[in-house]
């Protein structure tokens, strides 16, 4: 466990906690966390997750902007929504295409020993984060699944603090799903 992993873990934990609370400050905390994790994952040869941090950085900037500005008629409270069936199928197709592309590239061109597993969790995380930025409730289901897988992957890579963090994230994502679903139901009334 390095000091950088501790630093990244703390800011990422703050980010997810603030996200569950629907606080706009989740985005700046996330920017710091993903920036630090870029280097943690490089050191651990988790190249898909390393690259994902660059995308998360861009998505965090986008999410911060979207949460501030949202729809023109509702700047202060962008509503939570669900994906429809067509959007869900599109999200699954995007995840499958990303896994195949990223997994093939990292298996072929890097020295990672977990190319497709790393590609799977990175791909699902990418889509989940995009849904989060748009305040789509379905993001939490993806995060719950991916957090379980990440616990094992990070443990295998001897990132024990990060593995424990993702166990906490599993519970936070479950709480986020419950809280956001409750708020979604209230706004549907």
Give the tens place of pLDDT for each residue, 6-20. Answer: 999 999 999 988 987
Contacting residues for 185 by C-beta, under 8 A, at least 6 apart: none
Q: What are phi and psi of 82, to 5 degrees?
A: -110, 155
Min mean pLDDT across 48-52, 118-122, 142-146 is at 48-52
Q: Tell me if the pTM is above 0.85.
A: no
The domain locations on the chain are 3-70+81-188
In the predicted model, what is the mean pLDDT of residues 14-42?
A: 92
Give the tens place of pLDDT for each residue, 58-88. Answer: 988 988 888 887 654 443 467 889 999 999 9
Min mean pLDDT across 76-85, 102-111, 116-125, 147-156 is at 76-85
């Amino acid at each position: 466990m390095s000091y950088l992993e501790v630093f990244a873990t703390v800011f990422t934990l703050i980010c997810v906690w603030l996200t569950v609370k629907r606080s706009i400050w989740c985005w700046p905390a996330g920017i710091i966390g993903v920036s630090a994790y870029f280097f943690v994952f490089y050191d651990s040869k988790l190249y898909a997750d390393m690259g994902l941090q660059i995308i998360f950085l861009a998505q965090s900037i986008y999410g911060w902007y979207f949460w501030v500005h949202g729809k023109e008629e509702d700047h202060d409270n962008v509503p939570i929504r669900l994906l429809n069936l067509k959007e869900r199928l599109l999200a699954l197709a995007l995840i499958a295409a990303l896994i195949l592309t990223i997994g093939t590239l990292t298996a072929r061109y890097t020295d990672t020993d977990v190319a497709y597993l790393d590609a799977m969790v990175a791909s699902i995380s990418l889509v989940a984060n995009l849904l989060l930025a748009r305040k789509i409730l379905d993001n939490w289901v993806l995060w719950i699944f991916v957090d379980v897988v990440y616990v094992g992957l990070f443990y295998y890579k001897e990132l024990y603090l990060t593995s424990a963090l993702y166990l906490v994230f599993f519970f936070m994502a479950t709480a986020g799903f419950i809280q956001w679903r409750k708020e979604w139901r209230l706004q549907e009334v």
